[in-house]
Amino acid sequence: MATAGSEAHNPLEPEIPKLQFVPFTSALDAGFWHELTQKKLNEYRLDETPKGIKGYYYNGDPFGLPARLTLEFSAFDVNAATPAHCCPAVGTLYNTNTFESFKSCDKKSLLEKAANEIQALQKAYDELCQMEGVTALPYFLIKYNDKSVLVSLLKNWNDFFQDQEEKVTVGVYDPCNFTQYPGWPLRNLLVMVAHKWYWFYLLLDEAFFRPI
Protein backbone atom coordinates (compact mmCIF):
# COMPACT_ATOMS: atom_id res chain seq x y z
CA MET A 1 0.00 0.00 0.00
CA ALA A 2 1.33 3.42 -0.92
CA THR A 3 1.37 5.95 1.88
CA ALA A 4 0.76 9.67 1.49
CA GLY A 5 3.68 11.42 -0.13
CA SER A 6 5.23 8.25 -1.57
CA GLU A 7 5.62 7.70 -5.29
CA ALA A 8 3.86 4.65 -6.68
CA HIS A 9 4.34 3.51 -10.26
CA ASN A 10 1.23 2.63 -12.22
CA PRO A 11 1.96 -0.75 -13.86
CA LEU A 12 -0.28 0.24 -16.77
CA GLU A 13 1.96 3.20 -17.63
CA PRO A 14 5.28 2.52 -19.36
CA GLU A 15 8.38 3.58 -17.47
CA ILE A 16 10.29 6.48 -18.97
CA PRO A 17 13.84 5.30 -19.68
CA LYS A 18 16.71 7.29 -18.23
CA LEU A 19 18.55 9.55 -20.64
CA GLN A 20 21.97 8.13 -21.47
CA PHE A 21 24.84 9.38 -23.61
CA VAL A 22 27.09 7.44 -25.97
CA PRO A 23 30.81 8.10 -25.36
CA PHE A 24 33.27 8.53 -28.20
CA THR A 25 35.17 5.58 -29.61
CA SER A 26 38.78 6.40 -30.47
CA ALA A 27 39.64 6.02 -34.16
CA LEU A 28 43.42 6.33 -34.47
CA ASP A 29 44.68 6.48 -38.04
CA ALA A 30 47.96 4.75 -38.95
CA GLY A 31 49.36 8.17 -39.84
CA PHE A 32 48.79 9.28 -36.26
CA TRP A 33 51.02 6.54 -34.88
CA HIS A 34 53.71 7.27 -37.47
CA GLU A 35 53.71 10.98 -36.64
CA LEU A 36 53.75 10.26 -32.90
CA THR A 37 56.77 8.00 -33.38
CA GLN A 38 58.61 10.74 -35.27
CA LYS A 39 57.69 13.31 -32.63
CA LYS A 40 58.85 10.99 -29.88
CA LEU A 41 62.21 10.27 -31.52
CA ASN A 42 63.06 13.74 -32.78
CA GLU A 43 61.21 16.22 -30.59
CA TYR A 44 59.62 14.91 -27.38
CA ARG A 45 62.24 12.30 -26.50
CA LEU A 46 62.04 11.97 -22.69
CA ASP A 47 59.76 14.98 -22.30
CA GLU A 48 56.47 13.91 -20.69
CA THR A 49 54.83 17.34 -20.47
CA PRO A 50 51.29 17.49 -21.93
CA LYS A 51 51.02 18.49 -25.59
CA GLY A 52 48.16 20.13 -27.45
CA ILE A 53 46.41 17.90 -29.96
CA LYS A 54 43.35 18.06 -32.21
CA GLY A 55 40.98 15.45 -33.59
CA TYR A 56 37.55 15.64 -35.16
CA TYR A 57 34.18 13.90 -35.30
CA TYR A 58 31.50 13.41 -37.94
CA ASN A 59 27.75 12.79 -37.81
CA GLY A 60 27.23 11.15 -41.20
CA ASP A 61 28.35 7.58 -40.52
CA PRO A 62 25.98 4.70 -41.37
CA PHE A 63 23.48 3.63 -38.73
CA GLY A 64 24.88 1.35 -36.06
CA LEU A 65 28.49 2.53 -36.17
CA PRO A 66 29.98 3.98 -32.97
CA ALA A 67 30.55 7.70 -32.46
CA ARG A 68 34.15 8.07 -33.62
CA LEU A 69 36.70 10.60 -32.44
CA THR A 70 39.32 10.51 -35.18
CA LEU A 71 43.01 11.34 -34.79
CA GLU A 72 45.16 11.53 -37.92
CA PHE A 73 48.76 12.50 -38.75
CA SER A 74 47.69 16.17 -38.62
CA ALA A 75 46.51 15.85 -35.01
CA PHE A 76 49.75 17.38 -33.71
CA ASP A 77 49.09 20.64 -35.55
CA VAL A 78 46.23 22.27 -33.66
CA ASN A 79 46.02 24.92 -36.39
CA ALA A 80 45.52 22.38 -39.18
CA ALA A 81 42.30 22.57 -41.17
CA THR A 82 39.45 20.34 -40.04
CA PRO A 83 38.04 18.02 -42.75
CA ALA A 84 34.84 19.14 -44.44
CA HIS A 85 31.58 18.42 -42.59
CA CYS A 86 33.51 17.54 -39.42
CA CYS A 87 33.74 19.28 -36.05
CA PRO A 88 37.10 19.82 -34.34
CA ALA A 89 37.87 18.36 -30.92
CA VAL A 90 40.86 19.96 -29.21
CA GLY A 91 42.51 18.11 -26.36
CA THR A 92 45.74 17.18 -24.63
CA LEU A 93 48.20 14.38 -25.31
CA TYR A 94 49.77 12.74 -22.26
CA ASN A 95 52.81 10.88 -23.51
CA THR A 96 54.63 8.58 -21.08
CA ASN A 97 58.04 6.96 -21.39
CA THR A 98 57.41 3.76 -19.45
CA PHE A 99 54.62 1.27 -19.07
CA GLU A 100 54.63 1.92 -15.33
CA SER A 101 54.01 5.63 -15.91
CA PHE A 102 51.19 4.79 -18.28
CA LYS A 103 49.54 2.46 -15.76
CA SER A 104 49.82 5.05 -13.00
CA CYS A 105 47.95 7.72 -14.99
CA ASP A 106 44.60 8.49 -13.39
CA LYS A 107 42.25 9.31 -16.28
CA LYS A 108 39.49 10.58 -14.00
CA SER A 109 41.91 12.86 -12.18
CA LEU A 110 43.23 14.29 -15.46
CA LEU A 111 39.70 15.05 -16.67
CA GLU A 112 38.78 16.68 -13.37
CA LYS A 113 41.95 18.79 -13.46
CA ALA A 114 41.15 20.05 -16.97
CA ALA A 115 37.58 20.89 -15.96
CA ASN A 116 38.76 22.71 -12.84
CA GLU A 117 41.23 24.81 -14.84
CA ILE A 118 38.46 25.94 -17.21
CA GLN A 119 36.11 26.75 -14.33
CA ALA A 120 38.86 28.59 -12.44
CA LEU A 121 39.61 30.80 -15.44
CA GLN A 122 35.90 31.50 -15.95
CA LYS A 123 35.46 32.43 -12.29
CA ALA A 124 38.55 34.66 -12.22
CA TYR A 125 37.45 36.41 -15.42
CA ASP A 126 33.91 36.99 -14.10
CA GLU A 127 35.27 38.43 -10.85
CA LEU A 128 37.57 40.79 -12.76
CA CYS A 129 34.64 42.00 -14.87
CA GLN A 130 32.59 42.63 -11.72
CA MET A 131 35.43 44.61 -10.16
CA GLU A 132 35.63 46.80 -13.26
CA GLY A 133 31.85 47.20 -13.50
CA VAL A 134 31.62 45.66 -16.98
CA THR A 135 30.24 42.45 -18.43
CA ALA A 136 33.20 41.71 -20.74
CA LEU A 137 36.85 42.69 -21.19
CA PRO A 138 38.58 42.53 -24.60
CA TYR A 139 42.05 41.74 -23.21
CA PHE A 140 43.31 40.51 -19.86
CA LEU A 141 46.42 39.02 -18.29
CA ILE A 142 46.55 35.44 -17.04
CA LYS A 143 48.90 33.88 -14.51
CA TYR A 144 48.37 30.34 -13.33
CA ASN A 145 49.92 27.36 -11.60
CA ASP A 146 48.70 24.00 -10.30
CA LYS A 147 46.78 25.64 -7.46
CA SER A 148 45.34 28.92 -8.75
CA VAL A 149 44.43 31.09 -11.73
CA LEU A 150 44.86 34.86 -11.52
CA VAL A 151 43.77 37.49 -14.03
CA SER A 152 44.32 41.22 -14.26
CA LEU A 153 43.95 44.19 -16.59
CA LEU A 154 46.40 44.70 -19.44
CA LYS A 155 47.59 47.99 -17.94
CA ASN A 156 48.81 46.15 -14.82
CA TRP A 157 51.44 44.13 -16.67
CA ASN A 158 54.47 45.51 -14.81
CA ASP A 159 53.11 44.60 -11.39
CA PHE A 160 51.26 41.45 -12.42
CA PHE A 161 54.23 39.83 -14.16
CA GLN A 162 56.90 41.15 -11.83
CA ASP A 163 60.07 39.01 -12.02
CA GLN A 164 58.45 36.89 -14.73
CA GLU A 165 61.18 35.56 -17.03
CA GLU A 166 59.24 32.84 -18.83
CA LYS A 167 56.29 33.12 -21.21
CA VAL A 168 53.40 35.30 -20.15
CA THR A 169 49.78 34.76 -21.16
CA VAL A 170 47.29 37.32 -22.45
CA GLY A 171 43.63 36.40 -22.81
CA VAL A 172 41.63 37.72 -25.75
CA TYR A 173 37.84 37.93 -25.82
CA ASP A 174 37.65 36.42 -29.29
CA PRO A 175 34.56 37.08 -31.46
CA CYS A 176 35.70 34.71 -34.22
CA ASN A 177 33.94 31.35 -34.58
CA PHE A 178 36.56 29.75 -36.82
CA THR A 179 38.73 27.10 -35.17
CA GLN A 180 41.80 27.73 -37.34
CA TYR A 181 42.08 31.51 -37.01
CA PRO A 182 41.49 34.11 -34.29
CA GLY A 183 39.52 37.31 -34.80
CA TRP A 184 40.68 40.86 -35.53
CA PRO A 185 41.02 41.96 -31.86
CA LEU A 186 44.05 39.68 -31.46
CA ARG A 187 45.67 41.28 -34.52
CA ASN A 188 45.22 44.71 -32.97
CA LEU A 189 46.77 43.55 -29.72
CA LEU A 190 49.79 41.93 -31.39
CA VAL A 191 50.45 45.02 -33.52
CA MET A 192 50.42 47.21 -30.42
CA VAL A 193 52.61 44.82 -28.45
CA ALA A 194 55.15 44.44 -31.27
CA HIS A 195 55.31 48.21 -31.70
CA LYS A 196 55.53 49.26 -28.04
CA TRP A 197 56.95 46.27 -26.16
CA TYR A 198 58.92 44.09 -28.57
CA TRP A 199 60.71 42.33 -25.72
CA PHE A 200 57.28 41.51 -24.26
CA TYR A 201 56.22 40.16 -27.66
CA LEU A 202 58.98 37.56 -27.46
CA LEU A 203 57.54 36.24 -24.19
CA LEU A 204 53.90 36.41 -25.19
CA ASP A 205 51.67 33.37 -25.16
CA GLU A 206 48.14 34.18 -26.37
CA ALA A 207 45.01 32.57 -24.97
CA PHE A 208 41.69 32.76 -26.80
CA PHE A 209 38.69 32.89 -24.54
CA ARG A 210 34.96 32.44 -24.87
CA PRO A 211 32.85 32.57 -21.69
CA ILE A 212 31.02 29.38 -20.76
Segment 146-199, tens digit of pLDDT: 677 889 998 887 788 776 555 678 888 888 777 667 788 888 887 777 776 655
80 close to 74: Cβ distance less than 8 angstroms:
yes
Query: What number does CATH give the domain 25-104?
Result: 3.40.140.70
Report the sign of the C-alpha dihedral through residues 139, 133, 129, 152, in that order.
positive
Domain residue extents for the chain: 25-104, 119-209
More confident residue, 20 or 34: 34
Same fold flag, 25-104 and 119-209: yes
73 close to 103: Cβ distance less than 8 angstroms:
no
Class of the 119-209 domain?
alpha beta
More confident residue, 16 or 80: 80
Count Cα atoms within 13 angstroms, Cβ side, for 43. 9
Q: Which residue, among 60, 80, 61, has the nearest Cα to 71 in the 3D structure?
A: 80
Is the model's pLDDT at 33 over the cut of 90? yes
